């Protein structure tokens, strides 16, 4: 006979609580408020239970708004609590250290892009993940787009043949985020648009192309708008409680890179926060059997177009792209990887190739010389 004080519903409640995943957020700013907290709150049996930020005013506001129990002004104290996973939403320069310390403290990590500032940091973060057995996932939401799903399936199925030429761009005309905050501080951000938005489209094309390592990189960067720069509106104003924007525009407003990859392919990547040109997010991958052009995804007149050949006839294909909720799917994937003990979609060699390319572009731009990459791993 079972314990008469225990009813079936109690048992189910107890089980639910035992299975409940507790998540802690480091950095209570724009991306945490608009995306990560709401997305984690939608996942069954997940609780956002703790949050850390150096800005007390914002911390209290966000904790009250989203009913988060525990608040910390020191992130080191958050990783010492009983949270199962930590989401890193702090300025770029802190990502690697906070990820490493969180995994060492036994937490799984979802880390915002650009994830790391250097290839050496990527190596370290993934080696700690291997040693501790804790999941490390890079937050690249475009991986969950309908475009990525369709194209990855086609490319892996051999329908593109060998991919040998790649062009990618993320261009804004007047869109400098958080002007004067950490975003435009060289030490805290690590770089400007290439690090901030270029990384999104770079990861997208490198993921599709199988992430060959860079061998030779020539980079350029400019800061032509530093005296006339205006704030581009991200993070949203209502998420900036207590932020101070007293700094200067120290990073580039435009960067580009020409990269020879170990596969023999060539990559051209460009990113701007400010510039006098068309705007948009664009990607082209050319293979020996087919190629694809992905123009601005928000422009319905310009759908994804595949350039192919069928029995000697040049053929354009407009694939039906399934709709997606990229940020929610990213969070769902992270939780599922923890629960089902699976490896996250963002593999070490992919993150490494992306970060090494950005690192190389900056180094080449700063030295005025091409960068030759060593690729041991
Ligand atoms: N995936 C995306 O589409 C996307 C979009 C925007 C931003 N991001 C990334 O998310 C991260 C945060 O960007 P954001 O737009 O939310 O910026 P934000 O400025 O709105 O938020 C950053 C927060 O981190 C806090 N902070 C600063 N130093 C800290 C520290 N040592 N410990 C804890 N918190 C600290 C700041 O006070 C601020 O509240 C960046 O790495 C950015 O690249 C990703």
Residues 102-111 have a mean pLDDT of 98
Q: What is the pLDDT of residue 1?
A: 38
Distance 372 CA to ligand 1 centre (A): 32
Task: Go through 122-160 and write b for each residue having 16 or more CB atoms within 10 A of its CB, e for each that does not.
Answer: bbbbbebbeebebbbbbbbbbbbbbbbebbeebbeeeeb
What does the alpha-carbon distance between residue 367 and residue 126 come to, in Å, rounded to a whole number? 29
What confidence category does residue 374 fall into, taking pLDDT thresholds of 50, 70 and 90? confident
Which atom of ligand 1 approaches the CA of 182 most closely?
A: 19
Closest atom of ligand 1 relative to the 90 alpha carbon: 24
- C-alpha of residue 257 to centroid of ligand 1, in Å: 26
Residues near ligand 1 with C-beta < 6 Å?
26-32, 52-55, 58, 75, 89-92, 94, 112-113, 139, 141, 178, 181, 196, 235, 239
The atom number, within ligand 1, closest to the CA of 58 reads 39
pLDDT tens digits along 235-248? 999 999 999 998 89
Question: Which tens digit of pLDDT belongs to each residue from 124-143?
Answer: 999 999 999 999 999 999 99
- 258 has a pLDDT exceeding 80: yes
> Which of 277, 249, 251, 280 is CA-nearest to residue 358?
251
248, two tokens: 């200067």
What lies within 8 Å, CB to CB, of 248 at 6+ separation is: 180, 184, 226
Distance CA 319, CA 129 (A): 37
pLDDT for 28-57, tens place per residue?
Answer: 999 999 999 999 999 999 999 999 999 999
200: enclosing H helix or E strand? helix 199-208
Q: What pLDDT score was predicted for residue 361? A: 98
Mutation pick for ligand 1 pocket among 25, 75, 91 (CB with most ligand atoms within 8 Å): 91
Q: Give 90 Cα–ligand 1 centroid separation in angstroms.
A: 4
Query: Distances in Å between the alpha carbon of 274 and those of 111, 125, 174, 226, 337?
Result: 26, 32, 4, 10, 38
Distance 55 CA to ligand 1 centre (A): 12
* 241 CA distance to ligand 1 middle (Å): 13
pLDDT above 70 coverage of the chain, percent: 93
Q: From CA 162, how far away is CA 133, in angstroms rounded?
A: 35
- Nearest atom of ligand 1 to the alpha carbon of 139: 1
Average pLDDT, the chain: 94
Quick one: pLDDT at residue 21? 98
Domains identified in the chain and CATH numbers: 8-140 (3.40.50.720), 143-324+345-372 (3.30.360.10)
* More confident: 10 or 33: 33
**Span 199-226, pLDDT tens digits:** 999 999 999 999 999 999 999 999 999 9
User: How far is ligand 1, taken at its centre, from the CA of residue 146, in Å?
Assistant: 26
Residue whose token pair is 């850390």: 52
Query: What pLDDT does residue 6 have?
Result: 47
> Is-contact 116 351, C-beta < 8 A?
yes
In this model, does residue 9 exceed pLDDT 90? Answer: no
pLDDT at residue 2 tops 50: no
Each residue of 324-346: pLDDT tens digit? 999 999 999 999 999 999 999 99
CA 9 to chain CA centroid, nearest Å: 41
Token pair for 347: 């593999």
The span from the CA of 260 to the CA of 263, in Å, is: 8
Instruction: State the SS3 of 83-108.
Output: CCEEEECCCHHHHHHHHHHHHHCCCE
Tell me the residue length of the chain. Answer: 377
How far apart are the C-alpha atoms of 2 and 113, rounded to whole Å?
A: 51
Mean pLDDT for the stretch of residues 58-62: 98
pLDDT band at 300 (very low <50, low <70, confident <90, very high): low
d(CA 312, CA 216): 36
Q: Are strands 254-261 and 266-272 parallel, antiparallel or unpaired?
A: antiparallel
Q: What is the mean pLDDT of residues 248-270?
A: 97
**pLDDT tens column, 152-203:** 999 999 999 999 999 999 999 999 999 999 999 999 999 999 999 999 999 9
Whether residue 4 is predicted with pLDDT greater than 60 in this model: the reply is no
This prediction has a pTM of 0.95
Within 10 angstroms of residue 289's Cβ, the number of other Cβ atoms is: 13
- b/e per residue, 228-255, with b = 16+ CB within 10 A? ebebbebbeeebbbebeeebebbbbbbb
In terms of pLDDT, which residue wins out, 246 or 24? Answer: 24
Nearest residue (CA) to ligand 1, atom 25: 27
d(CA 244, CA 183): 12
Token pair for residue 133? 């057995």
């Amino acid at each position: 006979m079972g314990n008469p004080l225990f009813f079936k519903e109690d048992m189910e409640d107890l089980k639910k609580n035992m299975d409940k995943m507790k998540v802690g957020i480091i950095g209570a700013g724009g991306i945490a408020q608009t995306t990560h907290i709401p997305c984690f709150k939608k996942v069954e049996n997940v609780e956002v239970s703790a949050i850390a930020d150096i800005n007390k005013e914002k911390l209290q506001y966000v904790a009250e708004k989203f009913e988060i129990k525990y608040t910390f002004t020191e992130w080191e104290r958050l990783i010492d609590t009983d949270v199962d996973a930590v989401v890193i939403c702090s300025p770029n320069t802190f990502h690697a250290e906070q990820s490493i310390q969180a995994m060492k403290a036994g937490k799984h990590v979802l880390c915002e892009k650009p994830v790391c500032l250097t290839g050496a940091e990527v190596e370290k973060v993934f080696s700690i993940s291997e040693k501790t057995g804790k999941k490390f996932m890079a937050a690249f939401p475009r991986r969950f787009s309908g475009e990525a799903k369709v194209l990855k399936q086609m490319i892996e199925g051999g329908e593109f043949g060998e991919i040998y030429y790649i062009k990618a761009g993320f261009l804004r005309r007047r869109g400098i985020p958080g002007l004067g905050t950490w975003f435009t501080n060289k030490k805290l951000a690590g770089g400007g648009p290439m690090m901030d938005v270029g990384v999104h489209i770079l990861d997208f094309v490198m993921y599709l192309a199988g992430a060959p390592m860079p061998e030779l990189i020539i980079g350029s960067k400019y800061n032509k708008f530093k005296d006339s720069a205006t704030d581009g509106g991200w993070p949203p104003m209502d998420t900036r409680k207590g932020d101070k924007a007293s700094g200067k525009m120290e990073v580039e407003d435009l960067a580009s890179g020409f990269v020879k990859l170990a596969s023999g392919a060539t990559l051209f990547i460009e990113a701007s926060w400010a510039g006098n040109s068309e705007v948009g997010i664009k990607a082209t991958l050319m293979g020996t059997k087919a190629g694809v052009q992905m123009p601005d995804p928000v422009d319905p007149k310009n759908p994804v177009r595949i350039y192919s050949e069928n029995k000697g006839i040049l053929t354009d294909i407009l694939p039906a792209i399934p709709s997606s909720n990229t940020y929610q799917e990213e969070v769902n994937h992270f939780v599922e990887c923890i629960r089902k003990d699976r490896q996250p979609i963002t593999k070490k060699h992919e993150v490494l190739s992306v970060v090494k390319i950005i690192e190389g572009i900056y180094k080449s731009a700063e030295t005025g010389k091409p960068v030759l990459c060593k690729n041991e791993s």
